[in-house]
Amino acid sequence: MATENALPRESSGLSTIEAAKRCAAFKAVEDHFDPAYRYIGIGSGSTVVYVVEAIAAQGRAITNNMIFVPTGDQSKQIIIEAGLPLGSIDSLPPVHENPPAISEVSSKLLAVGQQDLALKGKRQSLDVAFDGADEIDEELNCIKGGGACLFQEKLVATSAKKFVCVADYRKLQPRLLTAWKAIPIEIAPMSAPVIKRMLITLGSPDPTIRQGGSAKAGPVVTDNGMWIIDAPFPPLKLAKDLAEGDKGDGSKGTWEVHALGRRLKRIVGVLDVGLFHGRNGIQVANSGEEGGGQKPVAAYFGMADGGVEVRVAQEIEGVKSKP
């Protein structure tokens, strides 16, 4: 953990919280943005606006050689407005520079839908993904999805060699669900009644379908055409908090972060869960597996005094994925 005074220029006219976000964003970009990178993930939320500002300040000579991949419509517009080259997570090129040509026979089969696009081999990974969070605990587990982009945010984070989180001081808590009271869950609309009943049995006292408020009648609809259920639970435990004999699986009234994340993901109708837990990108790489991790390798918190507190992941050993 380190605290540095990283106040960038032009922050003096912002509110304390906005200035804190901007300081954290500029410091994160300073530490984790490399001009040699090719593919950059850009998350959603108010903090990411300052991340893009810091990247754009590097100049077109650097950024024009890169592709910026958004986590949803909001970050797509931020990228476009900043004049950065836009890409998408489903169009990353293959690792080899010269993909094999499609034969005449394959072309005919593709035309009539009898063969897929033959996207064989490894695809490029994002070099880094920057995103915010709604709450972050001391082991860098995160709650995300307050902006209803959690599935695409997780898709981008786990497609990156490293995920870097940027937030303000309010988001740093000792345990998840301390200040942020509910876990966002992205679901298929027709499954909402069944999922709500299941969540209640798992210990969520009042799961609710997120509504659009005054701006929109009815439920919030995500970029994927899904709904969001906000499921409150008691503060989540870390493995080190569990008493002897308590597996953290809800059977004793307590949930450990990883156990709850895995359990919620197994519910039929759930697209994804706003708990970012498990491994970080360094652990995935060191295990010899492809892809990235859900947890950030580092989290940057803009503080009220103008400094930036940096929390770096302590887990670096290779760990195989758990079911």
Class of the 2-92+122-312 domain? alpha beta
**Which DSSP string do the residues of 4-26 spell out, in sequence order?**
EE---TT-TTS-HHHHHHHHHHH
**Residue 153 designated active-site:** yes
Mean pLDDT for the stretch of residues 17-43: 97
- If one counts every other C-beta atom within 10 angstroms of the C-beta of residue 159, the result is 23
Least-confidence region, from 9-23, 238-252, 304-318: 9-23
Give the C-alpha separation, 12 to 24, whole Å. 14
Summarised one tens digit per residue, pLDDT across range 133-186 is 999 999 999 999 999 999 999 999 999 999 999 999 999 999 999 999 999 999
User: What band does 215 get if pLDDT is binned at 50, 70 and 90?
Assistant: low
Summarised one tens digit per residue, pLDDT across range 61-76 is 999 999 999 999 999 9
Summarised one tens digit per residue, pLDDT across range 108-133 is 665 666 655 555 667 889 999 999 99
| pLDDT score, position 281 | 92
Catalytic residue among 135, 153, 256, 309: 153
Torsion angle of the four alpha carbons 69, 73, 79, 85, in this order, in degrees rounded to the nearest 10: 50
Give the C-alpha separation, 72 to 81, whole Å. 14
- Extents of the domains making up the chain: 2-92+122-312
pLDDT at 106 over 70: no
